[in-house]
């Protein structure tokens, strides 16, 4: 469910991608997850709004079990904010846009 603004990411490319110059917000999701679908449009909006400032990524937890396991993800959607490859903060659950904007601002 990635778009031209939101990139899909897999286990193999994960560490290299989140270690880039830009902060990265990773949405851990699955196609069968209702709350994941509910925040999808918000994630899309954020990707457009923060283009060039923050990389927005989506990782399907069913297809990529290694990375979610590494970060102890037990519920989805979980959004983790990375800066320079390190976790800045994370939110679990379908939250509103304001909470996600506040999360992103921690890395800017």
Cα gap 69→82, rounded to integer Å: 16
Q: Write out the catalytic residue numbers.
A: 33, 36
Give the DSSP per-residue string, the chain: ---SSSEE--HHHHHHHHTSSS-EEEEEE-TT-HHHHHHHHHHHHHHHHTTTT-EEEEEETTT--HHHHHTT--SSSEEEEEETTEEEEEEESS--HHHHHHHHHTT-
């Amino acid at each position: 469910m990635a778009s031209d603004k939101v990139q899909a990411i897999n286990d193999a490319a994960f560490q290299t991608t989140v270690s880039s110059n830009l902060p990265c917000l990773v949405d851990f999701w699955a196609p069968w997850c209702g709350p994941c679908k509910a925040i999808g449009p918000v994630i899309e909006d954020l990707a457009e709004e923060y283009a060039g400032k923050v990389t927005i990524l989506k990782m399907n937890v069913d297809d990529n079990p290694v990375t979610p396991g590494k970060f102890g993800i037990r519920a989805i959607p979980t959004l983790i904010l990375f800066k320079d490859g390190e976790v800045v903060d994370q939110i679990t659950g379908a939250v509103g846009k304001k909470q996600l904007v506040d999360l992103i601002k921690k890395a800017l």
